[in-house]
Every structure is written in C-alpha cells, then in structure tokens.
Chains A and B, each alone.
Chain A
Amino acid sequence: MKNPLSYIKYPLLKAIDISGLTFLGPVVRLCYGEEPSVQMKKIGQWIFIPIIFIILFLFVWGIASEKIQTKSGALPNPTKTLQAYDSINTFAKREKLKKEAYEAHGEQREKLLTKAQERLAEIIPQAQAATELVTQEKANQKVKLASQIAPIKEEYKTSKRAFTESQKQRQTQLDHTSKKLHIGNEEQYQSFIQSVKEHQSQTETEKSTLRSIKIKIKEIENSSSKKVEKALQLQTIMAEEQQFLKKQIDQLTRDNKSLKVESEQLKIEENFTALTQVTGKEALKKAQSIVKTETRLEKTKASNYAKPSTLWFQVRRSILCVFTGFLLGSLIAIPIGILCGLSSTFMAAMTPFVAIFKPVSPIVWLPITLIIASGLIPDPDQNPLMKFLWGLPGELGEFKINPAFIASAATVALCSLWATLANTALGVASIDKDHLNVARVLKLGFWSRLFKIIIPSALPLIFAGLRISLGVGWMVLIAAELLSSSEGIGKFVWDQFNNGASDSFAKMIVVVFVVGVIGLILDRIMIIFQRMVSFEGSAATI
C-alpha cells in the first residue's frame, strides 16, 4: 500500500520550486528517502555551509564591534542588537497594554488595576534592590580601581617631581651659560641656540610622558566592569517596568476614558439640578457651563489613546506606502510600456523622457513631490480626501495618511516605474511573430489581440520588471521617509539617529535586518507571481 504522504511529495517539491526556496528541496527528498547520500551532499552545500558562514559573520561582527568606537558608543555587537530588538518589542507590547488600559471600563478595569498594583508592589522592592546593587557594585569597582590606580598615580607624582627637578637644573645651566657668552663669537652663540633647542625638546618629551600616564589613569577610571554593567542593565529594566506600571495605572484611573466620561456626565447632571434652582444671570452661567462640559464629553467619547508609533506600526505603514507607490508607478508604466512596445513611433517619442528622468535620484524627486503634495493639500485637517482616509476603519485610519505619505509614495512611483516600463516595452515588442499571425488568421480585433495575445505573452517580462520595481521602490522608500518625516521605517531610523539613547545605535542595526527581511519577502512574493504567469519558452523563466 502506498503511504498517503507520498501523494504530497511532488506538489510539495513544486511549491518549493515556485517559491524559490530551493534549499528545502533536498530536505524533503531526504525525508522521502530519495538517494540519501546525494541529498546529504546538497544539504551540506545549501544549508550547513550558509549556516557556518552566518556564524562566522556573527563572530567577525562581534570582534569588529569591540574595535570600532564612535561618539555614540561602540558598534553594537550581536547580543546588544538582539537586546535592542527585545526592547523594541517590549515597547510595542507595553503601548498595546496602555491602550487597553485607557479603553478598559467596569469590572475589567478594576481587574487590570489590581493586577497592575500588585505587580507594582512586587517590583518596587526589587527595583530598590537593583539600585542598591548598582551603588554597591560601583563602590566595589571604585575600590578595585583605586588599588590599580594608586601605583600609577605614584609613578605620575615621582615622574613629575623628577621632571620639574631636571627642568630647573637645565634652566640654571642655560642661565649660567648665557652669562659667559662672548660678544661676537658666533660659534659660541650657535651652540647656545642648540642647547636651548635641546632643553625645549626635552621638556616636550617629559610633558608627553606625563600626559600618557594621565590618560592611562583616566582609562582605568572609565573602564566599566561586567558586574557594574549588568547591575545597571537590571536597574534600567526595573525602572522601565516601574514607569510603565505607573503609566498603566494612570490610564486605568486618572486618564481612563470611561471614568472621564462618567465624571463629566455626573457633572452635567449636577449642574443641571443646580440650574433648575436658579434664574437670571446665574442660570445663563450654569447653562453655558453645561454646554461646555457636553462638548468636552463628546470629544472624550470620540478620543483614542494617543499611542506613540512603534516600529511594527511604522513597518506596516511603510509597506502600505511602498505598495501605494508601486501601484501608482505600475499604473503609469504598464500602459506606456505596452504602447512603446506596440508602436516604434511612440517609443521614439518616449525615449528622451525615459533617458532623462530614469537616472534622477529619489533625493531630487522627494522635495518636488513634497511641495506639490502639500500644495495640493494645504490644510490636511480640512481636506475631504484626508478626512475620508482618516475615517477609514481599523489601522488604515490610524495610519493618518498625510501629504508626506503621498509625496513618499509618489517618489517611490517615480523611481521604480522605469524597470517595469522597459520590461513591458521589451515584452510586447518581442512577441513571437507566429502568435501575431494566429491573431491575424483569427481576425482578432485590437482589444482582443491586446488582451488575449500580446499581454499574456508579455506577462512574464512585465512581472520580471515589476519585481525589480518593487525592490527599487523599497530601497527608495526608506530614504524618502527619512527625509520627509513620513511615519515609517525611515522615520524610525531618523528618530533613533537624533535620539542618542544608549541603545539607539543598536536599534538602527535592528532596522537593517528588518528592512532586509521585508525586502526579501517582497521579492519572494514577486518571484511567485512571476513564476505563475511564466510559460515554457518565455523570456523570463528563472
């Protein structure tokens, strides 16, 4: 009897092939027991060797990070980068919890509150202990260092004394010689100059010796011990959690949405009862106050927790932005490309534009698109399109699409459309003449010839172009966001660059990997699409 698993072997291998994850092929084949020695060799080549090189890379990175010192600290090593990744995630998680706290009401609010208070009570002594540990370790370190520094300090003192002594001696010697000089004796004067020179250079050397000893002392004083660092790290973690819990409790109590709404409602009721007891000026005043509170109440009801953007939010916004730009670019590039491929006259008309605009850098496009976008939408708060976009449900509304977003997307479009345009034109122009003859024999009209023969035939190349475009767009977008301050990965990097916290350098390194991985995924998706539209003998079968 056949093993039921054997039926999925070839579909599985085909899926692996289409997705381009060819390194998994030997693993699957090995699982089915197909030529184990051959598969092991392939696994060694495509899985183990890359893993070894990754480990090697991490090792070299670790060494390099110790050597490279910058103003913003050492280049983060792999461990620090991983910690930065953790801290990015923790931040995102805590912001989510705070948002929940803001929106919590009734029983759930009280439950969360007790939980947070319990945790806070738990953590306060721990935090104190951590602080104590830091002071203790610092003191220990000081004592340890003092014993190290003492002999050097002693050396410094003796050297200094010796140097002052010898300088004085040389000075008196020179004084003495100067008095004995015979007027007119050039030779004597020359040798006198020589001795002065020697004296000066000697003094210089002595000074630099003293300086180097001082630097040594400073270095020892600044050298951090692992223990102190660890204690500091623990202290930071505790302090951060403590701060978070306090904020969470604030969101559950003082700043809580449901509590605010309740208190305002209560106030309105009270004021109204008071209002019904009075007339005249007093009544007017009370009524005005009620109206004011009512508007405030409406605002509170509609309000959302002002969540600062986390990296993952920015990643999602960047992906939306790159696809907006990519779509915009493709909508321009594909029709123009098709026209170029169909008509050499149109191609000739387009060539100068393509040739001139293609090499233009995104950095040049961005200010132009920014000016145009903010010119078209001078007041985003009043613009109907923006209002509509902000009112969209879910995260689409939260993205707060603004002119900077539109400018970034337009820049992506302007930089990425060229690859699609060129490939589409090539795909349409290089269509098999026999296929066109089929269209002629069938007497297909222009549109059915276009949609049934020309476009399907050009699709593999069009998708090859789209793949390049998306890759270019992703690269361009990060730069555009960085410059336009449009919320996104680029903005995150820029914020970290300006922030200067101890781990912002490491967070930038995390972004390198995040951008790389997302770019890889986008590329894979496009490869899958490309393979799905490819046929035997098409120009772009990879």
Chain B
Amino acid sequence: MSFLELQDVSIAFGPASNRAEVLSNINLSVEENEFVAIIGFSGAGKSTLMSLLSGLEKPTSGRILFKGKPITGPGPDLGLMFQNYSLLPWLSVNENVKLAIKKVFPKLSSQAVNEKISRYVEMVKLGPAGDKKPHELSGGMRQRASLARTLSLDPEVLLLDEPLSALDALTRSELQDQILNIWEQNKRTVIMITNDVDEAVLMADRIIPLTMGPQASLAKEFKVNMERPRDRHTLNDHPEFMRLKSEITQFMMGLNEESKSLQNSTRTTMPSIEPKDFNPPRVTPNMRSQNLTLGTPTSSGQGAA
C-alpha cells in the first residue's frame, strides 16, 4: 500500500447544467519520502489537484488515501505551501511561523516555541528579517517565509504548489537548492507542482505530466534516475539530464499541439450580419469579423490558472 494514493479521482465545478470537469480519472500513488513533481501548462488544473491533495477540495468521485485512510479535510500533516505565499500581512515573519507552531504544538513552553521559530526561520535563511512584515520583504523572501511556516508544521507530506514560479531566475535557483538541501537533511514525502521542466528534473525522483484541461489527467510518468545530491553546475553535461529534459519537453509540446488541434476542430463559420444602427457596439469588436472562432486556444486552453 502506498503512502499517498489517488484512485480514479475526478473533480467538476459548476451547476449540473453547465458542469466543467477539471480533472478526471487521476490515478497516482506516492511512496514515503519520495519527491514527485507534477508538471503541466497553466490552466491544466494543477492548483485544483493540489487543493484535492491538501484536502481543501473534495473530489466529485474517486478516493484519496493518505496512509490507507481517506482524507477528510485539510490539516497540518498535509503541509501545503501556497502559490501566492498567503502570509498573514499583519503578522511579522516570526509571528506567522509562531501561529503554525502554536497550533501544532500547543503544549510547548514559550522558550521552546521561540527556539523552534528561530530554527525554521534560520533554516530558510531569513534570520535577520524575522521581525519584518511580509510587505517589507521581496518575493523570494516571502516565499521562504511561507516555506518556513509550512516546514514548522512538521508535515508528513509537503505539498508545494508552484512555489517558485513567481520568482526571478536567480532567486529561483537559490531557493531550489535550499528546498533540496532541507529535504535531503530531513527526508519526507514531497509533491511539487511546477511548470518548469529543468526544475522538475533537478529536484524530483519522478515527473508526471498533467494533460491539458479540461478533463485533465495524468500522463505517463518519467523516472529520474540520477544520483543525489545533484549539482546544478555540472547538470548540463549530464546525459541523463539532457535526455529527460528533451523527452519531457517534447512530450509536453505534443500535449499542447494535440490540444491546439483539438481546439481548431471547433472552428465554426458564422454568417456575416451587420445591423444598420450598429452604434454603439454592444459586443466585442472581433464579433464583427466574418469568421467567428469559438474557443480559440488562447481563450480557453491557456487561460489563467
């Protein structure tokens, strides 16, 4: 039996008449202390998948098992690190971490709590900024604070929802190293969502692509058979790294093309009608063109997450 298991999970939103199935037939099993990366395009339903894993959303059908038992709701053992930091803006970094620690370890003395806070804040190298409010920090620092808060829950599963996608390239690689470092020192199960192939290959044991939404599902997985610790400086010379990277990239591009052609098939030609008193226009300008395209790739396939 796996540590974390998704069995035929589907989720749909909206009323019955206009139901949008975001994810369908997701099957995934994650072993203990495994680092799994789920890679997909924007709008594929990655964050929805993360909400399911963390228990924030319930699946429409199927089961999610954590240590053999179905997940009933969110909790500190499923440590979710939010995509947009979600630090409480009225609390300093230390206080944000303290809120989490106080909840998970309510019986700790205040001295022990303070020790724990400083340990986690040091762990993400935020020590000097501990007393600052989130708005005084840079994006990378905020994400590190968020990581510290999530780690301080001491979760059995670490769920990272696109943790680094909002950061610049330099901060990003620095944080990747930090996360890997922390994981290697204190192994635990990690599921990370990302849209960056390099990042996935560098960090994960297993990479699973998510197909294009709607009705996204998991495609065939890629095993990363590279020894740890991985060194980003020599990685570009590593044949396995290059092979995996190009394979995954090609697979992902294929997904995108497939979805594009899928979208193109719904092109419908509309008759040319233009009312006489067409002033002011009540619809968007492109309605006036002779060919009206329903569901262009940009409007539905690649919409925002």
Chain A residues with CB below 8 A from B74, complex form: 437, 440-441, 443
Interface centre among B78, B86, B90 (most CB of A within 10 A): B90
Which of B89, B90, B100 is in CB contact (< 8 Å) with A442? Answer: B100
**Given A535-B133, A536-B134, do A441 and B80 touch, yes or no (CB 8 Å)?**
yes
B 89-109 to A, binary, CB cutoff 8 A, 1 in contact else 0: 111000000011001100000
**Minimal beta-carbon separation of A444 from chain B (angstroms):** 6
Residue in B closest to A433 when the chains form the complex, CB atoms: B86
**B86, A435: Cβ atoms under 8 Å?**
yes
Q: Which of B79-138 contact A (CB under 8 A)?
A: 79-80, 82, 84, 86, 88-91, 99-100, 103-104, 133-135
CA distance A395 to B90 in the complex (A): 39
A457 interfacial contact with B, CB 8 Å: yes
**Minimal beta-carbon separation of A480 from chain B (angstroms):** 36
CA distance A444 to B104 in the complex (A): 10
Task: Please count how many residues in chain A sit with their CB below 8 Å of the partner chain's CB atoms.
Answer: 21
B295 interfacial contact with A, CB 8 Å: no
A434 interfacial contact with B, CB 8 Å: yes
A452 interfacial contact with B, CB 8 Å: yes
**Given A441-B76, A442-B99, A443-B103, do A435 and B133 touch, yes or no (CB 8 Å)?**
no
Interface centre among B73, B80, B88, B133 (most CB of A within 10 A): B88
CA distance A434 to B149 in the complex (A): 14
Q: Which of A436-456 contact B (CB under 8 A)?
A: 437-438, 440-444, 448, 452-453, 456
**B88, A435: Cβ atoms under 8 Å?**
yes
Give the tally of cross-chain contacts (CB within 8 A).
59
CA distance A457 to B86 in the complex (A): 12
Chain B residues with CB below 8 A from A441, complex form: 54, 56, 74-76, 78-80, 153
**Minimal beta-carbon separation of B92 from chain A (angstroms):** 11
**B89, A535: Cβ atoms under 8 Å?**
yes
Chain A residues with CB below 8 A from B100, complex form: 442
B 37-60 to A, binary, CB cutoff 8 A, 1 in contact else 0: 000000000000000001010000
**A535, B75: Cβ atoms under 8 Å?**
no
CA distance A207 to B84 in the complex (A): 92
A425 interfacial contact with B, CB 8 Å: no
Residue in A closest to B103 when the chains form the complex, CB atoms: A442
CA distance A77 to B211 in the complex (A): 82
**Minimal beta-carbon separation of B285 from chain A (angstroms):** 34
Which of B75, B79, B82, B91 is in CB contact (< 8 Å) with A437? Answer: B82
Which of A438, A443, A533 is in CB contact (< 8 Å) with B88? Answer: A438
**B86, A437: Cβ atoms under 8 Å?**
yes
Chain B residues with CB below 8 A from A39, complex form: none
A538 interfacial contact with B, CB 8 Å: yes
**Minimal beta-carbon separation of B56 from chain A (angstroms):** 6
Chain B residues with CB below 8 A from A438, complex form: 82, 86, 88
Chain A residues with CB below 8 A from B153, complex form: 441-442
A459 interfacial contact with B, CB 8 Å: yes
A537 interfacial contact with B, CB 8 Å: yes
CA distance A101 to B271 in the complex (A): 101
Residue in B closest to A456 when the chains form the complex, CB atoms: B90
CA distance A432 to B82 in the complex (A): 13
**Minimal beta-carbon separation of B104 from chain A (angstroms):** 8
Which of A440, A444, A459 is in CB contact (< 8 Å) with B90? Answer: A459
CA distance A533 to B91 in the complex (A): 11
Which of B76, B89, B103 is in CB contact (< 8 Å) with A536? Answer: B89
Chain B residues with CB below 8 A from A444, complex form: 103
CA distance A459 to B78 in the complex (A): 30
Chain A residues with CB below 8 A from B76, complex form: 441-443
CA distance A537 to B88 in the complex (A): 11
CA distance A435 to B146 in the complex (A): 12
CA distance A435 to B88 in the complex (A): 7
Interface residues of A (CB under 8 A from B): 432, 434-435, 437-438, 440-444, 448, 452-453, 456-457, 459, 533, 535-538
Question: Please, could you name 19 A-B residue pairs with CB atoms under 8 Å apart, sorted by A?
Answer: A435-B86, A437-B74, A440-B73, A440-B74, A441-B54, A441-B74, A441-B78, A441-B79, A442-B99, A442-B104, A444-B103, A456-B88, A457-B88, A459-B90, A535-B89, A535-B90, A535-B135, A536-B133, A537-B135
Given contacts A434-B82, A448-B103, 4 further A-B contacts (CB under 8 A): A437-B56, A441-B80, A441-B153, A442-B99
Interface residues of B (CB under 8 A from A): 54, 56, 73-76, 78-80, 82, 84, 86, 88-91, 99-100, 103-104, 133-135, 153
